[in-house]
């Protein structure tokens, strides 16, 4: 879920995470228009709409059980395994 900016309160699927930039690309969120030159007869030119990156600080994970944006925590599971858990209900997120 996006928590700030013009796309506030919208949710979507994470398509790609850009760790060096500290951003993520979310499906159908933060759509921008770019002009593209034609590159031969197969690829036509025109105005192309695509998703732009959103800073990770403006995003929160959604908990399926709470159905709300939540903070996450780490919890030691069986053996050496650690899992991300919802701070609200304690349910594993992944």
Per-residue pLDDT of the chain (94 residues; tens, 9 = 90+): 999 999 999 999 999 999 999 999 999 999 999 999 999 999 999 999 999 999 999 999 999 999 999 999 999 988 889 999 999 999 998 7
Q: Do 2 and 39 reside in the same domain of the chain?
A: yes
Query: Residue 26: which domain range?
Result: 1-59
Q: Do 4 and 38 reside in the same domain of the chain?
A: yes
Q: Do 25 and 13 meet the contact criterion of CB atoms below 8 Å apart? A: no
Q: Which residues contact 91 (CB under 8 A, 6 or more apart)?
A: 63, 64, 65, 66, 85
Q: Do 51 and 66 reside in the same domain of the chain?
A: no
User: Tokens 């997120």 belong to which residue?
Assistant: 93
Count of structural domains within the chain = 2
Q: What per-residue confidence (pLDDT) applies to 59?
A: 97
């Amino acid at each position: 879920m996006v928590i700030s900016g013009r796309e506030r309160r919208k949710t979507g699927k994470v398509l790609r995470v850009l760790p060096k930039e500290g951003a993520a690309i979310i499906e159908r969120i933060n759509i921008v228009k770019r002009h593209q030159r034609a590159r031969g007869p197969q690829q036509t030119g025109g105005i192309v709409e695509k998703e732009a990156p959103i800073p990770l600080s403006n995003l929160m994970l959604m908990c399926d059980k709470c159905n709300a944006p939540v903070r996450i925590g780490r919890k030691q599971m069986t053996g050496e395994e650690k899992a991300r858990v919802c701070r609200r209900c304690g349910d594993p997120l992944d």
